[in-house]
Structure 1
């Protein structure tokens, strides 16, 4: 008998509003759409983005751990965290032997006619969570990079103004 069909519960616990509640308070866009009064506010925005990235990583780990439970652990597919050279983390699908990676790995499993419908639906839920979390991570990481870059540029502009002002005072 197929061990996948013997599994009692294949219900996937999706990411709920409770899982995101803490993120909602930190991630308000109203703090982004305002005039920034200096590099300090931009550095703060970058810090908040980093904190949100860490929280998103925890959500990603929770989804990954759930995907590692039976009946999904019996499949030739794994959800893994991949750290990028840019410093962010994304959820990826991989074969058990790590020979292949990507959505094609998931598609192959979902199209397996021997897969019970409940397992197929669970994989679909994991994929939807993966897509949403990767989007959120990408946006927040981009915000972090942009805020950090802008803080550096403001610091350079401040330094230029100080140098000019000092030069003018010395020449008078």
Structure 2
């Protein structure tokens, strides 16, 4: 396992395998027609789908790491109406949030330092991935809303 959840080459692969860079460049250029907004939406949707796939790999990696002995696990929460998914800590024994237990484990001096450090690294990556997902969800929502506004502005 890497220090956290994110593989060392993930962002390099992200740039290679998705239209992320092109989408960001185009997003900050002139968009005039509904089709421009729809194209941007499709590109960013591909980016988000790739990130969702990476979340699954992160969860699998965590479950096979030395952190699998802990009473918490990482899940993908599909509760978002945006279509994006977020990584959440959960207790192994029930569906309650694992955040309280996460804090107890990190504060527990009886836990090996290496376990606590890896858990903190995983949490930092979880926060980052969730922020990136949230930003993508926001951009997708904005593109959809703007396309609808532009559609109503066109003169027949």
The TM-score bracket by the shorter chain reads 0.7 to 0.9
Q: Conserved in 2, the CA contact under 8 Å of 1:11 and 1:118? A: no
Cα deviation for residue 23 of structure 1 reads: 2.5
| Residue 52 of structure 1: aligned partner | 47
Q: CA RMSD in A?
A: 1.9
CA–CA distance in structure 2, aligned partners of residues 149 and 11 of structure 1: 39
1:109 to 105, 110, 133: 105
Task: Tell me the TM-score normalized by structure 2.
Answer: 0.87
1:39/1:88 CA distance change after superposition, 3 Å: same
Structure showing greater Rg: 1
Cα deviation for residue 82 of structure 1 reads: 0.2
| Residue 134 of structure 1: aligned partner | 130
SS in 2 for 1:133: helix
Cα deviation for residue 143 of structure 1 reads: 0.5
Q: How many residues align?
A: 151
Cα deviation for residue 40 of structure 1 reads: 0.7
Matched, 1:90 2:86: yes
1:150 to 143, 146, 151: 146
Cα deviation for residue 124 of structure 1 reads: 1.1
- Of 55-64 and 38-47, more deviation after overlay is shown by 55-64
